[in-house]
Amino acid sequence: MPVWIEVAVSLFLLFGSLFALVGAIGLFRLPDFFTRLHGPTKATTLGVGAIVLGSMIFFSSRGDGLSLHELLIMVFLFITAPVSAHMLAKAAMQQRLPRVDRTRGEPWE
């Protein structure tokens, strides 16, 4: 395997794990539901996408052909994450969940 492929896979894995870590920290540290929703839907989705892309490059470079399983996982992830976040936010707005004063906007008024 060429060195540049190993470097590319390593960079995607590091980039993805860094974004997944930032998303997990955001989920833990942010004060209310509406701000916590950004952690797993934005950063973690990008992190898992980068990890899966690194996996796709690695297994495709081994001579087995293009690995389409990872591509299907990424498509499914990028389609379902925004939809589920939207549904969670709408449910939280209907329940009128409490929010911190720093969270801007009154979505239910």
Which residue ranges make up each domain of the chain? 3-95
pTM: 0.81
If you ran DSSP here, which 8-state letter would residue 1 be given?
-
The DSSP H or E segment spanning 80 is: helix 68-95
Amino acid type, 36: R
Q: Residue 32: which pLDDT band, with cuts at 50, 70 and 90?
A: confident
Of residues 109 and 93, more confidence is placed in 93
